[in-house]
A and B are shown apart, each in its own frame.
Chain A
Amino acid sequence: MKRLFGIFTILIVLPLSLYATTIGLSLGIFDAEKGSGFLSEGTHVQLGVVSGITPRWEAEAFILTEATPDPFGETVGGLVFSYAVLGAVYENHGTVPLFANAYVGLGFMGDIMSGSHYGPVVRITPISVGGPQFLLRERTFTFGAYYNIPRNSVALFWNIFTLDFFL
């Protein structure tokens, strides 16, 4: 358990320290397929940090936590690397980036409280508007799949809305 927590802490801190680039704080809503053993029923929020690695690649470290009916009752941590499909996002050479974009991402998630489940994740964000140059980005209808290694099962999940506030 402590080992898993330590790995997640390192994974969260690593992208912040390696790359001197724009950082954003993300806030979103999150839900997953019921009965998949991934999340209990109720509402969940996603809080995270997003940072550009290259003009098209970004790293996002986040936690998902229960909001109702038992706040912080379960907490999942994750790290996802996303690729901007339609064009560069973290561009610093005076070029105007696309306002709208789409992302595909790969990463890893796990329950950081109990360590009861963990595994790789793939996700797609079909609609995203804004970006670091606009200070705000809205990601809509993100969906994906999570492979729960201890349970040997796949759970579908979705973030209907996520806001990124770039600093």
Chain B
Amino acid sequence: MKRSITPTILVLALLLFCIPLSAAPWWGGYRIGLDGFDVPSISQEEHWSVTFIAEPIPALLSGPSVQFGLTMPSFPFTDSHTYLSVGVGTSLFALQEHPFDRSFRRDSAYTPRIDVLFLFDVQETSFTATSILLQPISFHFGDKQIGILGVHLVKDHQVDTWGWGIRLFEIIHYLW
């Protein structure tokens, strides 16, 4: 009996130590968005934004994030301009009791976002534009975040004017 108590305590202690590990919050993943712009220096074609995203304070649903990646025109790639995209952003708040809660099969939180994105033209090695991306329709599902109909307010640094755009759809999928 005595022999079995020690291993039992050890196993229980090990399981206890593992609990925080399994509940570790997500901190990073990828983010894919589909953008359209009305900005002189950026073509009017659809653009795919593919970035890595990391959240320095992962325990918060509405925490800040940093990201880097590429924004590129979609198929059939008639526009040759690809942009390096670097940005910071945050969800403004997280509302778990929201009107669309029953429309989703998974638990969700309403998490409107704001991001600031800097776009550098890879081919011309120039600083093309700064975009303030407002996403009023964005939902957090734990391991992923989905947003639709976000609005870009874009400062075009090449011709010194303001433009706009729409992020039709985006998904942030956490991997780590």
Contacts and interface: CB of A to CB of B under 8 A. Distances in A.
Interface of A: 27, 29, 31, 33-34, 41-43, 45, 67-69, 130, 134-136, 160-161, 163, 165
A82 B44 CA distance: 32
Nearest to B79: A41
A29 B34 contact: yes
Contacts of A27: 148
Contact of B44 (A31, A33, A41, A134): A41
Contacts of A41: 43-45
B169 to A, nearest CB: 6
B168 A43 contact: yes
B38 A29 contact: no
A42 B44 contact: yes
B165 interface: yes
Contacts of A161: 169
B76 A135 contact: no
Leading 6 A-B pairs by shortest Cβ distance: A43-B36, A68-B36, A69-B38, A69-B44, A29-B168, A42-B44
B103 A134 contact: no
B92 interface: no
A67 B166 CA distance: 7
A163 to B, nearest CB: 8
Contacts of B43: 41
B2 interface: no
A27 B165 CA distance: 18
Interface string B89-110: 0000000000000111100000
